[in-house]
Amino acid sequence: AQLALEKDYEGQRVFETRYRVLLEASNEALVLVDVGTGRILDANSAAAKLFHAGQAALSNSAFTQEFEGRKRADFLDSLIRAAEDESGQAVVAPLRRNGQEVAIRPSAFRNAGERVLLCRIHRTESGPTTSVKQDLS
Amino acid sequence: AQLALEKDYEGQRVFETRYRVLLEASNEALVLVDVGTGRILDANSAAAKLFHAGQAALSNSAFTQEFEGRKRADFLDSLIRAAEDESGQAVVAPLRRNGQEVAIRPSAFRNAGERVLLCRIHRTESGPTTSVKQDLS
């Protein structure tokens, strides 16, 4: 049984590597948020760049903290509602570090019993010819 | 030790779920290819749609088979060379099912001792005003 477990464990290590490769390969800023604590489980380098933060510093920090004037509970609630919305609605919020407005598109999943949000984050354009809707399409 | 291993194992299951969520969340067609066998380890639904194939059927099938007139060894070699190329060069090939030309951008990583390619695949536009180069930028 021990051997079988070890073998299966090795197999699982495979997925941790693949997860990290996919996370970093994404051009989109991606952040995984623990719904229970509101903390960042993982953020890719595109997200760290967008937030003007170190990738390691983001890990385990409060996601709300990256945004301007947001109450933690309200903010998490709006993300959960957006994740439940079938139409793929985004939550728009200004970044704390530079006021840049971003659109957050969250989707929810169960991860070992914990509720987790995968948040895809894009800059919203402020140019006159481009609406937020178009950016999210 | 058994308990510690089990706990760690549980932790690893977390990554399998996250890996599958990220794979499916991607708008890009993504395929993981085992370099040793040339077989598809995993393809997301965007890839299945692009290939006009069932997602389950793709798993464990030869990646080369999805493309027209490609010798397996040559094709894999060109993917490996592209993965090693710093400039992010793409391999362009026509799909077997409809001749549609696609650009494959592979990156290589080690996965439990095996060499694996993460292939990001895009349609190349055939319109006169859009070059392949622009599609890949």
Helix/strand/coil percentages in chain B, nearest 5: 40, 30, 30
pLDDT tier for residue A11 given thresholds of 50, 70 and 90: low
pLDDT tier for residue A2 given thresholds of 50, 70 and 90: low
The backbone torsions φ and ψ at residue A89, rounded to the nearest 5 degrees and listed phi first, read -60, 145
pLDDT tier for residue B13 given thresholds of 50, 70 and 90: confident
- Kindly report the number of other CB atoms within 10 A of residue B13's CB atom: 15
C-alpha radius of gyration, chain B, whole number:
17
What type of residue is B69? G
For domain A27-136, the question of CATH label 3.30.160.100 is answered with no
Q: Over the stretch B89-136, which tens digit does the pLDDT of each residue have?
A: 899 999 999 999 999 999 999 998 999 999 999 999 753 433 344 344
Q: Over the stretch A21-40, which tens digit does the pLDDT of each residue have?
A: 999 999 899 999 999 999 99
Q: A89 versus B24: which is more confidently predicted?
A: B24
Structure tokens at A33: 């948020």
- Nearest CB among B8, B10, B18 relative to A19 is that of B18
Burial of B73 (0-12, 13-18, 19+ CB in 10 A): exposed
3-state secondary structure of A48: helix
Report how far residue B121's alpha carbon sits from residue B103's, in angstroms, rounded to the nearest whole number: 6
**Which chain A residues touch B116 with a CB distance below 8 Å?**
18
Q: CB distance A112–B14 less than 8 Å?
A: yes
What average pLDDT score do residues A80-92 get?
A: 90
Structure tokens at B98: 């409809």
Q: Over the stretch B46-105, which tens digit does the pLDDT of each residue have?
A: 999 999 999 999 999 999 999 998 788 899 999 999 999 988 789 999 999 999 999 999
- Nearest CB among B2, B15, B23 relative to A16 is that of B15
DSSP string, A63-122: GGGGBTT--HHHHHHHHHHHHH-TT---EEEEBTTT--EEEEEEEEEEETTEEEEEEEEE
- Whether B118 has its CB under 8 Å from any CB of chain A: the answer is yes
What average pLDDT score do residues A101-115 get?
A: 95
Residue with tokens 């990001």: B120
What is the domain partition of chain A in residue ranges?
Answer: 27-136
pLDDT at A58 over 70: yes
Structure tokens at A51: 């937030």
